[in-house]
Structure 1
Amino acid sequence: MRLFLVMSFCIAIFAIAACDRNEINYGDTEYVSASDAVVKLNYASLYPDNRYVFIKFNGKRVTPLIRGRQPFPGGGYNTLGDVRADFLSIKPGDVKIDVVLPHSKDDGLDSLTLYSTNVKLEAGKRYTVHFTDTGKLTKSVMTEEDFSMPDSGYARYRFINLMPNVPEVDLYYGQNATSVLADKKVASGIKYLESSEYITLNRAAGRTWKIRPAGAAVTTATVLASYTSASTLLNQRTYTVYALGYNGVKVAPTMPYVSFFHIR
């Protein structure tokens, strides 16, 4: 009996020690509060060399290496990255945002600042900062996001035009990529760097999204880009739809795209 108790005691000590060794420490956890703001970064600056960059808030790096067509955090559909409705939390106030080219070997240091801007964030609000174009022509625009959910059976969208050489864009929702018979215009004449009102649509699987220059004839020849995925029609989700790239370019990574990411 004594031997059994000693062995049991040793096994218990070993188990506790093993648990300690397998514990993963992720650092201090800081929860988002009503006094914070949350931000998503929609990096849509398409360089021909598909270069990696990182982004800083007030001099502090907040992203890994990302490329054009890669929202962060969370990625999206017809984008680079994964797919999550995530945002970064930040204390409200004036925030300086830098888009930075890293050294050829990413050692965390800046090689060249490609673009800088300043934004003002308010407590309790949700934002997306969109970036587009390249070099000295780089621009950004910030949108405030609505986290409320549509009714069951519906999804909600807002469309933004980030195509530098297309002054206005129409967004269509059609039956498939090769037919135009069922194409329905759901956002009209959206100017560069501007966004539509919210669009609520019922969930019809297998539909195709298309973008055309504003006022263009509804033909297959006028489609700048299209995308088909049932994932853009999930129940009670809120999405940002965005047009990016350059009209007239036929090859990746700078050709036109219509892409999506989750807001909620």
Structure 2
Amino acid sequence: MKISLKFKTIIAALFITLGLASCSKIDGDQTPIQISGLSLIHASPTIEKLDVYVDNTRANVEDFAFGAKIDYLNAYSGDRNLTVTKKGLTTKLTSKLLKLESGLGYSVFVVDKFETVDLLMLQDNLAKPAAGKAKIRFVNLSPDAGALNLEVVGKTPDLIDNKAFKEYSEFVAIDPAEKVSFNIKNKTSGAVETTLVDIKIEDGKIYTLYAKGLKATADATKFGAAIFTHK
């Protein structure tokens, strides 16, 4: 379902390529510019900083490191080429043609290990949650964690079940509360792999929670979880 979105205004440096959420005219054409929302998340477990280009324009202004997120940018709808490079270099690590529909929002995750870095684009269901509810989606972006479940601590059954690497759930309803804790559990053994503690879940908000990192490491790329609000 297409909905009206209020995407963030792009800074001047990105104006020409990514577009502006307005009804500007081009060469006298009265048709409004068609835009889509594009959010970028660095979920590749590497200490390398990256640059991300939409067509030929760099989308990140600051360092784009593991765990970083760029809130919705306004991108021209249609076919857009997204390219990832190592910071300051031009050699492509990966590149993908994205098909963006007008008025829709998308989250694009940079995923997998540095040697096999990839892009995962998810369409965001930004329809308002039901009255008195929030919405949340779970994405498994850990290359070596196996299939995972998402549990709201103190509630059964698990909120989301059996998501392998690069798999994700639909958005599901969740009760808002000042403090909600989440367990990410191994699907096979039921063991708790990591926990997010005392997360504020607000009425009417939309969230994505994702597993990230590597179980095989103990550095900054170690296994964990992150959550963000779609805004």
Query: TM-score band, normalised by the shorter chain?
Result: 0.7 to 0.9
1: CA distance between counterparts of 2:219 and 2:180? 24
Whole-Å separation in 2 of the counterparts to 1:56 and 1:216: 40
Residues 102 and 111 of structure 1, relative CA distance in 2, 3 Å threshold: farther
Q: SS in structure 1 opposite 2:158?
A: strand
Asked if residue 262 in structure 1 is aligned to residue 214 in structure 2, the reply is no
Residue 51 (structure 2) aligned to one of 37, 51, 54? 54
Give the distance between the partners of 1:122 and 1:252, measured in 2 at CA: 39
Alignment match of 2:125 (pick from 129, 136, 146): 146
Cα distance change on mapping 1:248 and 1:51 into 2, 3 Å: closer
Greater helix proportion: 1
Higher gyration radius (CA) = 1
Deviations 1:106-142 (A, max 9, x none): xxxx354322222111222211111212233212211
Return the alpha-carbon distance in structure 1 between the equivalents of residues 178 and 219 of structure 2.
Answer: 27
Residue 185 of structure 1, CA deviation: 0.9
Specify which structure has the higher proportion of strand.
2
Taking structure 1 as the reference length, the TM-score comes to 0.71
In 2, distance between residues paired with 1:247 and 1:95? 34
Q: In structure 2, what is the equivalent of residue 71 of structure 1?
A: 69
Aligned to 2:34: 35
Aligned length: 206
Q: How many angstroms does 1:68 deviate by? A: 0.9
Normalising by structure 2, we get a TM-score of: 0.80
Distance in 1 (alpha carbons) for counterparts of 2:179 and 2:143: 29
User: Match of 2:202, as an amino acid?
Assistant: L
Shift of 1:205: 3.1
Contact 1:130 1:142 (C-alpha < 8 Å) held by counterparts: yes
Cα RMSD after superposing both structures: 2.2
Residue-by-residue CA offset, 1:57-99 (whole Å, 9 max, x unaligned): 11211112210111112xxxxxxxxxxxxx1111112221111
Q: Percent identity?
A: 19
CA deviation map 1:7-47 (0-9, x unaligned) = xxxxxxxxxxxxxxxxxxx8689334672111101210121
Unaligned runs of 5+ in 1: 1-25, 74-86, 104-109, 176-181
The within-5 A match list for 1:1-264 is 30-32=20-22, 35-47=34-46, 50-64=47-61, 65-73=63-71, 87-103=72-88, 110-175=89-154, 184-217=157-190, 222-231=191-200, 233-249=201-217, 251-264=218-231
